[in-house]
Structure 1
Amino acid sequence: MRLHSLTMTAFGPFAGTQSVDFDALASGGLFLLRGATGAGKSSVLDAVCYALYGAVPGQRPRTRLRSDHASAEVRTEVRLELTLGGRRLELTRSPEQTRAKKRGSGSTVEKAQTLLREWSAEPGGEPGWRPSSKSHQEVGAEVQQLLGMSREQFCQVVLLPQGEFARFLHASAPDRADLLGRLFDTARFGAVEAWLTERRQQTEKACQAVLGEVGARLERLRQAAGTDSPPPAAPEQDALGWAAQLRVRAREEQAVAECRQQGAEQRRALAEARAREVEVIADRQRRHRRAVQRAGDLDQRAEQQRAATVRLERAQRAEAVVPLLRLHREAAQAQARFAEQERRSRAALPAVHAAAGLDELVAAERQRREELGGLRTLLAAEQQHRGNERMRWQLEAEREDAETERAEAEQWLAVDWPDQRERTAAALDQAVQAAVRADQLDEQQREARRRGAAAEQAEALQARLADSRQRELRLREAAAAAHEDWLDLRERRLQGMAAELAEGLADGRACPVCGSGEHPAPARPGPGRVTVEQEQRAEQGYRQAALRTEQAAAELGQLEQEAAALAAVAGDGGAAELRALVQRLEAEHQQARRVAAQAIGAREQLDRLEHEQGLRTAAAGQAAELVAARTARLEALALEQGRLAEELERGRSGAASVADRVGQLTPLTERLGEAVAAVREAAAGAEALARAARELREAAEREGFGDAEQAARAALPPHETASLRAEVQRHRDELAQVGAELADPDLLAAVRLPPADPAADRAVLAGADAALRSAYAAVQGARERCAALDRLSAGLHAELRRLAPLAADHRRVSELAFLASGTSSSNSLRMSLETYVLAARLEQVAEAAGARLQVMSQGRYTLAHNDARSRGAGRSGLGLSVLDGWTGRSRDTSTLSGGESFFASLALALGLADVVTDEAGGMPLDTLFIDEGFGSLDEDTLEDVLDVLDRLRERDRAVGIVSHVGDLRGRIPVQLEVRKGRDGSTLHQHGTG
């Protein structure tokens, strides 16, 4: 942000129009705003703040901005021209004010006005101010967006108001928190604290809701248990125990019912046993009668069953021989197959191994496999040898590339770099000088346009002046003629007044002139009589003509004043001459801008060259290191290749490569292995065939057959054997069953008893069943109550499980809320979240301010952030202390003297300005004001403070000091003086050329 000019009219102590040329004041970097106490030095800063934000620093109302010395017809207005974000802007503001009505008496209120204009110099268009907005809200939003800071931040960072930064140095923690919160917009962290508090309340409500559901479930448990015992007062702690007691009581009642059920079951069991015993006796008597009948039937089929038994036995003996006969046939087929395989395997071997025995073949195979194992070990060495060759080619190529790169870098550093840097630096200097010249031409061009516009308006106004003079003269002549007509009619009416009075006379009525009641000769009206209405119309015409003359004279006077003001602005030159001057300045300005526009490219080119110089230097060093590394690697690789070549030569045994040698041995080794396997399988097959023949012969003899073929003929199909075996077994089982039943002592005893009648015992059993059902219903009721209690207890347990995370969440959120608000016991410093963020900002401010304070205090003092816990109920984290380099101890800021307190406060304010500027996005602040406080400094300290302020001018920054200290007048030649008087204050610039 750079200020260019400020114009104030009827503002504060300034009755008329006063202007400030900040470009001229900023030419020296440091300027002094001085004046007597109450002259209005701070009002200049108020005007800057009002133009930007529509309000002045502090809490003063806008209605008090108007000067008490100003005339009623002069309107209060502030116009500020500045550059923001690369845009040339003009802000004009007028507060709400009261003025006299243009017609009639009384006063009216004019609303506040705001106008934002932007300078436009687009190619092909007419340069000039273009209106941007008239809305207070739009202008305020755009200015704040461009500045990146609010009014409070601007007043604390740019205007550094009198006493404000000293107040911040000695402020309490709440006051510092309030100021820092407004500067750094930490309300969002306060919102986090509020959110946590709200979240704590929400979790508490959620817990209460679940507790309500737990209470309802406890009441349902009480109802299901049928008890009058009240639920526990602390359900989250005792609910499960109380529910367990109810379940235990219900289970005891269930146990009693089950005991009663068991008694009923025993009684029923006795009745059932008696009924079953009678049924058993009756059944045994029936079974004995059936067994006698079945024994007669089995005796009739005895001969048929004996023949079937003999046939089944021969078939069963043949079953032990038939499987061995099948195995003998299979062994014979396998031995023939193995013999053929051995023949083919021996045919595939070389002649030296074709007729060899099994041991010779096994030894030959083992020898070839051992040789292959050694060769396969060398395969990796052969691959490594080839890879080393490829690596050697690659290393040699990399070494050549590195040598080339090093030569190119050294050539560029020695020849190209000095020449290009010199040319680019010269172009940059030329562009910087052109930029300075362009700024000067811009101001000259703006002044020439203003004068040219005034000259053109003055010339255009001359024709209106001539017309206005002619009109005023005509109206004046018409008014004089109307006046003469009115006077003439008045004189004529006076002359005929007797006749006018005579018209009202009557006999007996007193004359209004002489009082006589007789009128012997009343006057008679003559020709051309003038009436009262004619005289009044003539007077009214004269009054209107006089009023028009006065209005025309006022308009003529206003035009003459405007012409005089325009002539004063235009000066001696005419409009054509000034237009030519504007064109010439515009051409020079465009040329300077074109040259100045090359500054960015030249600076970027210089940066690129310096960056490339660093890269080339590093590349040359890296290339040299790479050449040395690749040379050493090539030497080590040559030694390794020699060793590998000797090992491979021994392993190849005359072959082209180890892989070829492996390819030669592998098929022969595989054929030897196949031959060994075939010989072994043929020998095993012959042995298996002999063993099968022997076992088949022995089995036939053992089972009583002459040979295996006889046994094969005695064998039966499996289904026929199974059917025959089942039939024989079934006959045997029936014989055994009938014999057992006829010999069963129980059946024999039952036959000796009288015939049984089970009907009476079944009636007794029915009565026992009814008693058992009643007992069972009681047990079921008890079980259902237990099940209901289990189900409700499970629901209670689920609710308590649901309550547990909610309660844990509530505890966690409560702890976070109390921690963020600084009321938690875990927060040892009692520092809220927003205060913690502000403490971090204050720490940055203290660090930035400490460097400047060291210079101002000649290395004695520096500022430090203090987060020690405050006493009592106060919050901590926003403390400041001063480190005294002479004593090595920390001091409270309240122990500083007046002068020490001033420059410590100034350092703190400048540090605060730096941090807020960075927070606002790094908007460059090219104009800075410091209001008062230098009178408390001695000469040496004042020199140190001015040295720090002088450093602020770096990067083309202008610093304005607002002070009435006399020593500063000789130290700072560029000054803006405010002089006060009875008719208001005025501004005067000194040392600006």
Structure 2
Amino acid sequence: MRIHRLEIEAFGPFATAQHIDFDQLGAQGLFLLNGATGAGKTSILDAICFALYGAVPGARQEGKRLRSDHAAPSAEPRVVCEFSARGRRFEVTRSPAWERPSARGRKGFTTQQAKTLLRERVAGGWEEKSSRNDEVGAELSDVLGMDRDQFTRVVMLPQGDFAAFLRSKASDRLELLQKLFGTQRFEAVERQLARQAADAAKAVEENASELKMLLDKVASEHGQLGLTEAGTETDNAASGTVTDPGLWLADVEAQVGAEWKRREEQANQADSVSIRLSGALREDQEKTLRHGRLRAATQRSVLLELAAPRALENRELLAKHRRAAVLSGQLDAVDAAARKYQEAEARMAQLRGKLAAASLEAENPDAALESVKASIAILEARLPDEQRLEELAARLAVQQRDAARQRTAAEAAAAALKQLREDATLVETRMEPLVPVAAQMAETERAAKAAAELVGIVSRYSSAAGELNLLTAGHLEARTASQDLRQQWLDVRELRLANAAGELAAALEIGEPCAVCGSKEHPNPAAAVRTALSLAQEEEEARVRFEDSEKTVGQLADQLSSAAQVVAGLEAQGGATDAAEADARLAEARSAAAAAKEAADLLEQLRGRQEKLAQRLLTVQEEHAGCLQAEGQALSTAVLLQEQHAVLEEALSTLRAGYPRLRDRLEAVTEDCALLQAAADAGSGLVRAEEAQQEASASLEKALLASGFSSATEARNDILAPADVVGLETDLADFDAETARLDELFANEDLVLAAKEVSIGELPLPEAELAEAERLAAVAADDARATALAAGLAQKSAETVRRLRSDYEALAQAGNGPRMRARMLAELADTARGAGDNGYRMSLNTYVLAARLEQVAIAASERLVAMSDGRYTLQHTDAKAARGAKSGLGLEVVDEWTGQRRDTSTLSGGESFMASLSLALGLADVVQQEAGGVDIETLFVDEGFGSLDEQALEQVMDALEGLRDGGRVVGLVSHVAEMKQRITNQLQVVKGRHGSTVRIAEAVPV
């Protein structure tokens, strides 16, 4: 993953839009991110993380307000990040939730929700992928291959975190490693195994509990029967300590079965005695009942004979009533017709009085009724006009109020227009002198930048010139020394060649040919000064010294040439300029740039004010014109409504006939109509009542002649009251029913048998003897029931014990498998969580993380060896922790110079920084591989370089420069002055009263 471009606006300390080109910044593979404390260096890293993941790193996420407090109230916070990953190029734009001022001048704020836009570059153009937060998050997570925690620890290396990680305990390292490597699945396996072991153990406990419960039930059944033969074994069953449950269950089952058979025999004997005594008792009781029923029937027969005369009299009265009751309908009709006629006469007299009081026609109400109905129809038809009149009055009042309100608004808008025009003129007057000054801002900034570069060039030229002089003197001295060494070498070589004749002469023998000339005579052999071996060795040493000096001269010549090129290049860029003059130019250029910047800022503010005034002016003009137009429309509508109201009022005043409202007159006429209608209806009712009375009287006369009554009075006298009729009918019905019942009773076989027994002298037992027989039968029955109940209980207990024994054997057999599984799962769960025989107390999750930590230590050691000049390496250790604490995530440092291993907390400040940096880089490599081989092409290292000495800083920088291999870009965040001199490509963050800004300082070409 490589970051190409970042844009920040109204975010963190950055009020205005800031553009960072990481491709330009990282052209040399290494750049420095520096700035004053609080300027916003870390905010740039926050912006990258927010763009990719929608949140800033770690603890800074909590309570952090992302929108810049320096930005304008209406400025939207925004971060744009362009990056490439997995061969694709993306641009993500994010805006956090923020409070925007309400529109149209209203007070308060409106919450703007967070926004996201993801685009991908396809075929030379940008193609929108998604604007939904969740979809963009899922897409970026898939492309980057890392979550936020991994990204902030792999791409943005926080040295403080890894220094703490280096010195922390094994238990503290667990949390960070688990977040980075995502080993929660192994913890889930541990928890799952623990749950399965607990469930299996619970199943075993439940099985044992169920077996114990079955034994308790068997013991309970045994105890209910009162058996004590089992003795101690029964007590053991109750306490759960039976030695052989199967043998004990068989013994109990045999005892219960024998007890059941014994009680069954007792029950059969008691039942036979009870049946015999109850049969004899039943015969005596039946005889006593028969004779009692005979005596009662005889008494009832005597009473019935005494009531016979009264029953005959009642029959005659009831017959007369029934003959007269046939005429009751005609009699009631005559009475009802007379009452209705009298009521109709009274009603008619009352209505005539009311008509007279209302000055209405009483003799012929029908004609008056028609006239009133016609008036009602006219009034009802005009009622809507009166409602319309009220509506016209209400609308007229509304239009008049609206016209007045629009007039007031128009006057206020006119006053606002005047004030806005005056403000616009004032702003334009202030802007005129600022325009030419602000136009020079870009030119003055370039001049200030050029002046600053010239000061730097002058300073570097002075240093380079001094270094060139030193190199020139050193080169001349080395050249002279090399020439002297060359002469020494040549002298020794000459001496060796001269001594070669003596060496050959020493080898000559008389009579043997010379190796040089071939002569066998040797008249004057040369004498050797020194041995050939010593001269050859001396010559070789002289040659080596000369060649070494030549190499030194060559190196110095190269350095001299490079220094001369640097001095020439700096001189060509103006490095020979006087330093005081360059400083004066810089101060003058910066002053001009500051003045232009101030003018440009003020001009920008005034232009914003001018634009707002112009927009407000247009708005108020539109409001003024709208108010005038609305006022005219309201006045026109009011005039039209007033004319319609006057016409309608004139038409309705005649119909009111002096009443306040048309509805009041309609109510009065409606009351008259109702009175006339009631009088007409009463006259018709009186005629009908008279005719009904005459018809009822004629019908009654005919019925009297047909029934044999001489008059209506005679018929009324024979009619009985309904209660009397019911009483007579009841008495007669009771007399007839009692007669029938006695006839049926004396015909019953029991009474016939009782009469026969009385005639022959067979009387029932006396009461005392019968009570004794009942007592003996009851005792026998109770004994039979008790023995039967005891036998039933024994049978039930025998069946229950047989069933419980079968259930116990089946349940015991079924529990074998769960017990074996529980033991296996318990051992497996203990192993996974590091318990049991695991002396290291290393869980499965810790074991996996220990393997990852070992990989991290190996990767970190490769860089720590280079940084520490081959002295230190990091090594994972699984040594047992003290006091039985969990082990497996230990780290120790190995001192290769002494061969000793020691704890990481013993490292010095600089050594700790190098170790923690190596650990961070190694961890980044391992996590990168773990994340599927994601290629990290942009890397940030945050702070910590101030604890290093000059040599250590040199070694660390060499290691960091090695990270550039393969095109990787490394950004270092630091305040160290020496790093500012070493790294020429810099991203500088400058803080100010109105927010921070960024700028890129590039290397000056030589």
What is the TM-score when the length of structure 2 is the normalising length?
0.45
